[in-house]
A and B are shown apart, each in its own frame.
Chain A
Amino acid sequence: MTEMSSRLSGPASHTVTARSVWPKPINTLINALINFLTRPRRLAPLLACAWMILIAGFAFAPHWFTAYDPLEGDVLASLAAPDAEHFLGTDKLGRDVFARIVYGARFSLGVGLGAVAISVAFGVLLGLIAGQRQRVLDEGFSRLFDVVSAYPGVLLAMLLITFLGGSLVNVAIAVGIAGIPKFGRVVRAQTKAVQDADYVVQASIYGRSRFSAFLVHVVPNVLTVVPVVATISVGTAILTTSGLSFLGLGPQPPTPEWGLMLAESRDYLRTAWWTGVLPGIAITLTVIAFAVLGGSLQRHIEGRAP
């Protein structure tokens, strides 16, 4: 981490520069973003961006993409194979599969983003506190992270959902809580590293109060590690949600959430493949896109981009 943070705080002058009203690390991040958006050199991030723009379109203006209602269908025409009318076919209740995928973007992205927002908010806060030179706080919060991550995989989310009840919001909360330690640990390590960095020590020598030095130098620097992890985590959260749906602990029908669609379609795998294969592809592509973007972002922040 020390290695990485010194690289972070170093100059990134090879990029287009933003106006330097921001603290230096944030500046670096913004530059990286601008650089990434204006001069992408690789195909993968470009494709990922294109997919993200498409599903963002689905999420914000689903009615532009389909004329069908995702909740209404003609039951008498259920499980119809793809044809001119329903080009991705219909599901068990005769609802248009494409319409459900389009409208589902809002729910799936919503769950993913919501969960990550919760993880980030609490993870960063607790991580910053744990990263202070207060042994008791550090131990306390570090052990708290340990306790949370002692529940393997979906077990914690499972327990939380039995407690909260299955709904879209509760799934986001459960998945979000399970993700707190991931951010907490990263932020804690980064805080510790940055606090000992020369320029922070110097700042306090030059008479800045500890708190103001913390705010100006430590916090922004620490936050640069968050976007990468967060981006990748959105995808992971969408995956976890689909797993919960499979276990019957996810969002409730008739929500057109992709994971739920996929879980519901498994009974028709042999007779109506289109009800499951397509939401599955939508999930997979979205998770890939988030991973590619996260990786790309990381390379740009680290200044390794071509």
Chain B
Amino acid sequence: MYARSNSTDRSGHHKLSEQLTARRLMLLAGIAGAGMSLLAAQPAAANETPRSGGTLTFGVTTEPVCFDPHRSVQQNSYIIIRNYVDSLVAKNADGRFLPWLAKSFQKSADGKTYDFILRDDVVFHDGEKFDAAAVKTNFDHARDAKNAVPAGELLQSIEQIEAVAPHHLRLHLQQPDTALLESIASVRLGLLSPKALQAGAQLCGGGPALAGTGPFRFAGYTRGQSVALERNAAYNWGPGYAKHNGPAYLEKATIRFLPEYSVRAGALSSGQIDVIEGVQPTDVGQFKDQPGFQFLTGPSGAQTAFTLNINNTIEPATDVRVRQALRDGADIEALVKSVYRGTVRRAWSNIGPDNPLYNKALEGSWGLNVAKANQLLDEAGWTGRDAQGYRTKDGKRLGIEVGYPQPFVRDSRDVLIQGVQAQLRKNLGFDLKLRIITGGEWGQQLREGTWTIYPNTYLPADPVRELEGNIGRTGFIRAVSDKGDKELFGHIESALRATTADDKLKHVHAAQKRAVDQAVIVPLFAASYQLAARDKVRGLSFEAQLDSPSNLYDVWVAP
């Protein structure tokens, strides 16, 4: 049980001892925050006093199609949404859960009941009161299938939501759900004003109607150009990991949509905007350690490594030797180093290396071995060669297609795949085709189980969910899972059912090992978020739950 107190907290719900714990936790959170600053290489801020006021322009890669946290399924939308919605609980960088709009929370012994004591001083942007009924309205709305809210998937284990008292919420679960707090902490279950929710579909369009409780109000949206955010002067309920209390420092912030790499970098280097995300690796040198600029790298733990998921039910990937040859035929280490200029790490598992459940033993257990890969392909009967030098068997060329859905192409990832493609061609005579497909075609392939290789990162609430959603029985392979790898499915399902942390860890490790050994995945690199900014911008950090920059709450601009 975690709790947090501050001067405005006049609730009678918790005892002195809890408050003491809370202070200690705050201290710990502060240390964790400091650690993150180090990681992020922010300019030393020890002797500086944050300055309130000022504005900031943030250049982002993607314009969200929907600004409603419950409906948006775009990873890139969350860094904007986080500015105007808060969650009940906050996930700290070390994986612990801290108070946020719930000042304390508790799980029952059987894991089937969760109690949240809510803050009583919170108001939505539209003036509505924040209370247990408002949270219930949010969650019930998301859970109701007829509303077709995608975030409802996070609440599938809930049987009933009860507002015990005005500021006491109780969740009754059908079965224990180890990922529940992750789900509750997710921006996707951020809380909206019940009045706003009644507006329903219109919320996707953003604007002041989209009222949350966040440190900024959604002041305006110019489609194709920008989002305007305004400080919420009443704000006094930051997450447990925040570095200050009270309202945000920035008076106004503008989120600018700049889809072109060179335009974003050019706008920053010519001083027209303050912060950018999605820095082209070759542009990093212009900002990293350069006077007037700073470059920050976030942790790589929450989301999966960028991974090639191989559908092992479709020829020729049904042969484990073909998959292993694909896995070991390219120098992934060198490719990642070259494409990302040393800004990200090569991956060994599809769970990120900074994640507590990462199987470190996999490092060095696979990878570049051209002789072995060629031998495997020879054994598998791919001994012929066609005019272009590709291997053949019975007149058929050895090839598998990577279908990369266009909406997810970003961050030079297609370039990396092209690098693998070139090496497999040269080293093995293996034709790794790359085709950019539409979201619709991917949807169809997923439904029919006809995809061949799907490259992705995945941001679920919990690593076990991540494995299940990617390579488990109900993962991408779900349409044809009867032909999938039963042993792998078994490990993941055991991890899902595990009741102790040790048991869970054991099965998660086994599942990662099985997936890599069987080469149903080829992890490429551990994605981490990167920001470049003017050196005057202070307080930039990363949010563990999103694996992306935190909101602009703690950010300020030095004179």
* Residues of chain A whose beta carbon lies under 8 Å from any beta carbon of chain B: 71-73, 75-76, 78-79, 92-95, 162, 165-167, 248, 252-254, 266-272
Inside 8 A of B339's CB, which chain A residues have their CB? 75, 78, 92
Which of B80-88, B314-322, B434-442 touches A? B434-442
Determine if B438 and A72 form an interchain contact, defined as CB atoms under 8 angstroms apart: no
Contact B262 A72 (CB under 8 A): no
Report whether B418 and A270 are in contact in the complex, using a CB–CB cutoff of 8 Å: no
Asked if B282 and A72 make an inter-chain contact with CB atoms under 8 angstroms apart, the answer reads: no
> Is B408 an interface residue when CB atoms closer than 8 A count as contact?
no
* Complex CA distance for A271 and B280, rounded to whole angstroms: 10
Nearest-neighbor residue (CB-CB) of A78 within chain B: B338
CB-CB under 8 A for A165 and B441, given A75-B335, A267-B280, A271-B282: yes
Is A253 a contact of B262 with CB atoms below 8 Å? no
Interface residues of B (CB under 8 A from A): 260-262, 265-266, 280, 282-283, 286, 334-335, 338-339, 406, 409, 412, 414-415, 418-419, 421-423, 425-426, 434-438, 441
Measured between alpha carbons, how far is A167 from B266 in the docked complex, in Å? 32
For this complex, 6 residue pairs linking A to B, each with C-beta atoms less than 8 Å apart, are: A73-B422, A76-B334, A92-B412, A267-B262, A268-B262, A270-B265
Q: Nearest Cβ distance between residue B268 and chain A, in whole angstroms?
A: 11
Taking A92-B339, A165-B441, A254-B421 as contacts, is the C-beta distance between A266 and B262 under 8 angstroms? yes
Partner of A72, one of B415, B422, B437: B422
A71 close to B334 (CB less than 8 A): no
From B283, B334, B412, B435, give the contact of A270 (CB < 8 A). Answer: B283
Total inter-chain residue pairs, C-beta < 8 Å: 71
Task: Name the 6 nearest CB pairs between A and B, nearest first.
Answer: A267-B261, A75-B338, A269-B262, A271-B282, A253-B418, A75-B419
A71 CA to B426 CA, complexed, in Å:
10
The answer to whether B434 touches A253, judged by C-beta atoms less than 8 angstroms apart, is yes
Q: Which residues of A contact B422 (CB under 8 A)?
A: 71-73, 75, 93, 95, 254
Q: List, in ascending order, chain B residues with CB within 8 A of A252's CB.
A: 434-436
> How many Å lie between the Cα of A95 and that of B425 in the bound state?
14
Q: How far is the CB of B279 from chain A (nearest CB, A)?
A: 11
- Are B409 and A71 closer than 8 Å at their CB atoms? no
Report how far A166 CA is from B433 CA in the complex, Å.
13
Contact between B415 and A93, CB atoms less than 8 A apart = yes
B260 touches which of A73, A266, A271 (Cβ 8 Å): A266
Given contacts A165-B437, A166-B435, A248-B406, contact A79 B419 (CB under 8 A): no
Helix, strand, loop or mixed for chain B's interface? helix
With A79-B282, A248-B436, A252-B436 in contact, do A72 and B418 touch (Cβ < 8 Å)?
no
Contacts A93-B422, A94-B338, A254-B421 aside, 13 further interface pairs with beta carbons under 8 A come to: A73-B422, A75-B334, A75-B422, A79-B282, A92-B282, A92-B415, A93-B415, A165-B437, A253-B418, A266-B260, A267-B412, A270-B262, A270-B286
Least distance between A91 CB and chain B CB atoms (Å):
10
Q: Would you call B435 and A165 a contact (CB within 8 A)?
A: yes
Given the complex of chains A and B, what is the CA–CA distance between A71 and B419 in angstroms?
Answer: 10
* CB pair B436 A271 closer than 8 Å: no
- Chain B residues near A248: list those with CB within 8 A: 406, 409, 436
Looking at the assembled complex, report how far the CB atom of B520 sits from the nearest CB atom of chain A, in whole angstroms. 25
Query: Which residue on chain A has the smallest CB distance to residue B280?
Result: A267
Q: Which residues of A contact B434 (CB under 8 A)?
A: 252-254
Min CB gap B137→A, angstroms: 39
User: Chain B contacts of A162 at CB under 8 A?
Assistant: 438
- Whole-angstrom distance between the Cβ of A5 and the nearest chain B Cβ: 46
CB distance from A92 to the nearest CB of B (A): 6
User: Across the interface, which residues of B come within 8 angstroms of A95, CB to CB?
Assistant: 422
